[in-house]
Amino acid sequence: MSARIETLIGRRVWDSRGNPTVEAEIHLTDGSLGRAIAPAGASRGSHEAIDLRDGGDAFGGHGVDHAIRTLAEVIAPVIVGLPADDQRLIDKRLIELDGTPQKARLGGNATIATSMAVAHAAAAAAKVPLWSYLSAGSARRLPMPMVQLFGGGAHASGRIDLQDILIVPMKAKSFEQATEIVAEVYRAGGALMADRGLLRGVADEGGWWPEFSSNEEALEQTVRSIERARMRPGEDVAIAIDVAASQLACEGRYRLATDGIELTSDEFVDRLIGWCRRYPIISVEDPVGESDHAGMRAFTRAVSESVQVIGDDYLVTSARRIAEAARAEACNAVLLKPNQVGTLTETYEALQAARQARWHTVISARSGETEDVTIVHLAVGWCADQLKVGSFSRSERMAKWNEAIRVEQTLGSRARFAGRVAIGGSRTVIAAQ
């Protein structure tokens, strides 16, 4: 007989920005325990699950006392007694109990912490790691990491407009080797900044603080960092960017404050296409704002053969939005952030919708993170193509890379690495099949 949920406890813990966040802890009738912590975004899509915060003066309004009470008083009475291995049923109860399109009643932070804690408890009861539990023992593929080198946008007080300049270790043959390559380029990037007198520490996700005078300089310096690490840009290590363009959009135009210009959607798309031609860019996330459907289609149409176009704010981990975007040929890949939608079941449905569209899938952390490593288990257990958790410093990021190394070692000779075919435009999707 499956173990049932005996208690659900809510606890306030603190995230990587020093803000309060929700931890859920679940105890089962057989003594098993599952625990998970909700992350928090800073550049959020407007259709995401609502992060319930207390408001007021304390902790800049980020308090989660209300969400913690919701766990104990509203959620616990509904899920106590349910079998922990029926994730679908439990998530369905959470969705029904909330009853709003964006988890406005319970709060996405309360529901995702609960939903992930349930999965951890069920895996503990089954006495297997979560990644193995999620795949009924069949998982063996490690995702391609996409790692931030320079952090910008909302994660670096808008120092440059582009939010993430990332590197992808294309030549890696294993996850462990991928981290070695990333470590060398990350180190080279820091040394380059130091030599030029531009080293100012790191941004929210651990990438170097981008003390650049233009957005394009960040791309140039990424190429230089790869070369300085004695690797070939494009061939050994490719570039990915997250424009997070909703942050730049204003009344149909795009304001690039670092470059001192304002562009129409067409002009902005042209500029991005130009960057894709001049730099070894393999992936572009949220190239235009979340409601600029025409811009998204135009950009995807122009580059989709060779470049991966990811929807983050544009798709908000919604199966429905993914299916719509696939029909419209806007995007060819999806960023999956469990707290954007609020339950694991809905995150999995989004992943399935992307697979149906033959898109690449990227499991992602948020800029506000903790030691919680659930997303690594999701990426392996669900066989996602890529994993994005920020940069290669700060322990809330390293905890995730290190967990993937552990999984790879546990798998031993059964481990497979997603490799270069797991990222890129539609040409790579076809080649991988």
CA atoms within 13 A on the CB side of 201: 5
- Of 162 and 404, the one with the shorter C-beta distance to ligand PGA is 162
**367 interface partner picked from Zn ion, ligand PGA, none, CB below 5 to 8 A per type:** ligand PGA
Pairing of strands 141-142, 416-417: parallel
Task: Give Cβ neighbours of residue 138 (< 8 Å, ≥ 6 apart).
Answer: none
Q: Which residues, 6 or more positions from 327, have their beta carbon under 8 angstroms from its beta carbon? A: none
Nearest approach, Cβ of residue 310 and Zn ion (Å) = 8
User: 87 vs 361, which CB is nearer to ligand PGA?
Assistant: 361
Quick one: which H or E segment has residue 360? strand 360-364
Task: Enter the tokens of residue 44.
Answer: 């959020």
> Does residue number 242 form part of the binding site for Zn ion (CB under 5 A)?
yes
Please report how close the Cβ of residue 29 comes to ligand PGA at its closest, in angstroms.
Answer: 36
Catalytic residue among 23, 25, 48, 205: 205
x/- binding map, residues 265-294, to Zn ion, per CB under 5 A? --------------------x---------
What's the closest the beta carbon of residue 337 comes to ligand PGA, in angstroms? 7
Pick from 312, 349, 369, 408 the residue near Zn ion by CB under 5 A.
312
| C-alpha to C-alpha distances, 270 to 229, 278, 298, nearest whole angstrom | 31, 12, 9
Q: How far is the CB of 243 from Zn ion (least distance, A)?
A: 8
The H or E element that residue 402 is part of is helix 395-411
Question: Closest separation between CB of residue 86 and Zn ion, Å?
Answer: 32
Q: How far is the CB of 250 from ligand PGA (least distance, A)?
A: 18
User: Which CB, 238 or 240, lies closer to ligand PGA?
Assistant: 240
Cβ atoms < 10 Å from Cβ of 13: 15
With respect to ligand PGA, which residue has the nearer C-beta, 44 or 62? 44
Work out what residue 361 binds among Zn ion, ligand PGA, none; the CB cut-off runs from 5 to 8 Å by kind: none
**Do the strands 386-391 and 144-151 form a parallel or antiparallel pair, or are they unpaired?**
parallel
Count of CB atoms within 10 A of residue 413's CB? 5
366 interface partner picked from ligand PGA, Zn ion, none, CB below 5 to 8 A per type: ligand PGA
Range list of H helices, 196-343: 215-228, 265-278, 293-303, 319-328, 338-341
Q: Which is nearer to ligand PGA, 25 or 346 (by Cβ)?
A: 346
> Which residue, judged by CB position, is nearest to Zn ion in the bound state?
312
Does position 369 interact with Zn ion (CB under 5 A)? The reply is no
Q: Are 389 and 366 in contact (CB under 8 A)?
A: no
- The piece of 106-114, 128-136, 210-218, 305-313 that touches Zn ion (CB under 5 A) is 305-313
What CA–CA distance (Å, rounded) separates 288 from 294? Answer: 9
Nearer to Zn ion, 48 or 285 (CB): 285
Residues assigned a catalytic role: 205, 337
